[in-house]
Structure 1
Amino acid sequence: MSTAPQWDPQQYLRHSGYRTRPFLDLLARVPRLPAEAGHAPRIADLGCGPGNVTTLLFDRWPDARVTGLDNSAEMLESAKPLAGPTTGGGHLDFRSADILRWAPDETYDLIASNAALQWVPGHVDAFPTWLDALRPGGSLAFQIPGNFDAPSHRLLRELCAAPRWRDRLGETLRHRGAVLDPVGYQDRLAALGCEADVWETTYVQVLSGPDPVLDWVKGTGLRPVLTALADDPQAAEEFTGEYRELLREAYPPRPYGTPFPFRRIFVVARKRTK
């Protein structure tokens, strides 16, 4: 069974620029929301993390009422200062919730998620519940990493399965089926009666500093391993050292920095009006 990761908001935010860009690209493709005249749009952000990306929703919908949902106490504590009225007349609040078991108790114009659903096994099974909570013409919009075959992830899986680590870490990581391919999402959402816009993009992120790819994954993909080894600092240091050497070979630096290709899958599914 995979280990529920303990999150470090500050580590996650170290690369906030690159983590933010895909969400902005996603929101640019969301069609007009169906909020009734005189009523502010109602939006949910699933897996809101520290809230820095959630606030970007107000750039597009200044008067929206937005709720960020996350099951990490650390992330919600970091997001807390952002809650309250917004300068455009909107309002932001945060709640603790298990995304897969979240049962919306009101109607939404947009349910969005940024790089969170890959952590939710079986998230496609929640699509009917989420779509039922949308107004006709509302949208479910999310982006997720599609890089499970990248060296950063493949090497991490292989190291966890190595003889030295397999007993402690062999079942720690997410499997490759944690996300569908783009056509898989298209098929699922079309079967639910949605008009789905699905695409993928590979961002060549140029990272800087010593061991920059390791620094990146410490905020995301490496979290389950660090959580599993939290009670054994020496083992955590030794594992990280082995992984560091593998990443250095897989991602050699250039004079301008270290290129880190990162594939993302995007989905905007609009609920039909009839």
Structure 2
Amino acid sequence: MADWNAEQYLKFEDQRTRPARDLLAQVPTTAPRKVADIGCGPGNSTALLVERWPEAAVIGVDTSADMLRQARERLPHHKFIEANVAHWTAPPGTEVLFANAVFQWVPDHLKQLKRLLSGLDDGGVLAMQMPDNLDEPSHILMREVALQERWRHQLSKAAELRDGLPKPGVYYDALKPLCSRLEIWHTVYNHALDGPEAIVEWVKGTGLRPFIDPLDLPERKAYLAAYTARIAAAYPAQGDGQVLLRFPRIFIVAVK
């Protein structure tokens, strides 16, 4: 895929940051010295960590140069590094690992979660949330369009790129032996957006990227037109003209 686009991602900054706020509210640590924001993106989640723990050394980690550029502009006095979490190790003494909507993109992420949690000292916290929405119309329809004859050759692999997340019990059994405390829950958000086109704009910044990045401009326009038509049918307007994007997310707070 092409690099992430920070500007596209931040079109819905308030709604995208809301789960990070909700996750952070459940982190029990009071005064950590070192905190890492894994998959920090454009720094919107990192800013929450800095606000809560102004005395901590907070670092952001991401694979995207464009996201890191935006994060450094937002928080110029904090450290951001370009790294893949699958090959990254937290600095010694890190007390909080915070991950907002990143591990769904990481192959074999359960293995990585166990590795990162194992590396923490006792009392350290791994706090994460991930979209759990592959069975929502927004994602079912992008796969359906991709498998139409016109795009099947180019996009069949994209349609199979991500597996659904494991059930909560799988996370529990994998992480609980490493934890003194483990909390797992789902929250379903219903984001009020300005019509079906806004839903398309939302997913263009995240889940739709593997489907549109391989296409040239005419094919991309045609794919988006077909997808938007299906989104309009799946998400009818409310009384005020808004549409509700139903968005389930899974949250995990693990204390070593």
TM-score, reference length from structure 1: 0.88
Residue number in structure 1 paired with 2:235: 251
Supply the RMSD in Å over aligned alpha carbons. Answer: 1.7
CA contact (8 A) 1:201 1:265 kept: yes
| Aligned-pair CA distance for 1:212 | 1.4
Residue number in structure 1 paired with 2:8: 11
Residue 205 of structure 2 aligns to a residue whose secondary structure is: coil
Residue 185 of structure 1 aligns to a residue whose secondary structure is: helix
| Aligned-pair CA distance for 1:76 | 1.0
Residue number in structure 1 paired with 2:50: 58
Give the number of aligned pairs: 255
- Distance in 2, matches of 1:57 and 1:133, equals 21
Indicate yes or no: 2:239 matched with 1:239.
Answer: no
Question: Can you give the 5+ residue segments of structure 2 that lack an aligned partner in the other structure?
Answer: none
Q: Deviations over 1:74-133 (max 9, x none)?
A: 111121213444xxxxxx210000111112342210001111111111111112321233
Residue 264 of structure 1 aligns to a residue whose secondary structure is: strand
Indicate yes or no: 2:145 matched with 1:148.
Answer: no
| Aligned-pair CA distance for 1:70 | 0.5
CA contact (8 A) 2:114 2:175 kept: no
The worse-fitting range, judged by mean Cα deviation, of 53-62 and 260-269 is 53-62
Residue 245 of structure 2 aligns to a residue whose secondary structure is: strand
Indicate yes or no: 2:8 matched with 1:24.
Answer: no
Residue 136 of structure 1 aligns to a residue whose secondary structure is: coil
Residue number in structure 2 paired with 1:88: none
Residue correspondence of structure 1 range 163-242 to structure 2 within 5 A: 163-173=149-159, 175=161, 177-209=163-195, 211-229=197-215, 232-242=216-226
Question: Quick one: percent identity of the two aligned structures?
Answer: 40
Question: Can you give the 5+ residue segments of structure 1 that lack an aligned partner in the other structure?
Answer: 36-40, 86-91
Residue number in structure 2 paired with 1:89: none
